[in-house]
Amino acid sequence: MTYKDSANIEQTVAVPAHYNTFANALAEGKPYLTTATDTIMVVSPVLTLSDNSINGQVTLTAKTEDALIGKKSFNIENGILKADTLRFATTAGKNIWFEYSYPAAISNETVTSASVSILKDAAGLVTENVLAGFYAENDNLGFGMLYRGWGGFVYNSAEGRYAKPIDESLLKLP
C-alpha cells in the first residue's frame, strides 16, 4: 500500500492479506439438480434466526462442483432477513449447492432453518425449496485461523511417533 505521510513523503508498506474463514458449519445444505427449463434461476433466501439482536449482512452463494455461479449479500435487521432475490444463469444437469456465510461468530442454536426458494413459474411462485448450508466465523480459540474445522499446528513425527496417536499431554498450548 502506498500513501503520503504528514510530511507529504510517499511511503510504501506491505499489508498482509486477511481472509475470513467460515469454519462454523451451522446447517448442511443439499444439492439442487437443474432441469432443462433452468436457464435463468431466480432464488429467494429463506433464513430463520432465533436471535432478534442480529444485524448486518449474510451472503448467499450458488456453486457447482467447479464454479461460483451466483453471489449476493442480503441485509439482516433485528434477526429478520430482508426480502430480495438472487438471479444467475445456469445449464441443465448440474448440481447446485446454496450456502450462506455470516461474517461473525454466532451460536449453533441461532440458525433455526436455512434454505432457498426456487421461483420457476412466470408469476414468481415458489416451486421448490432446497436446504442451504450456513457457515459463520468461529472464534480462533488460540489455534489461529481455522478452515471448516481444520486448525494450524505442527507435529514432530520423529523417534517413531509417526505410528502412534498424538500424546495430548505433550502438547504445548498458547
Could you read off the pLDDT of 79-111 as tens digits, one per residue? 999 989 999 999 889 999 999 999 998 988 999
Give me the pLDDT at residue 27, please: 92
Number of neighbouring beta carbons within 10 Å of residue 21: 16
Q: Is residue 46 part of a domain?
A: yes
Checking if the pLDDT of 144 tops 60, the result is no
pLDDT tens-place string over residues 16-37? 666 667 778 899 999 999 988 8
Closest alpha carbon to 111 in 43, 47, 20: 47
pLDDT > 90 in the chain, percent? 53
Give me the pLDDT at residue 143, please: 54
Sequence-distant (6+) residues with CB within 8 A of 18 are none
Please give the tally of structural domains in the chain.
1
CATH of residue 110's domain is 2.60.60
Range of 79's domain? 20-137
Its pTM surpasses 0.75: no
Q: What three-state secondary structure class fits 121?
A: coil
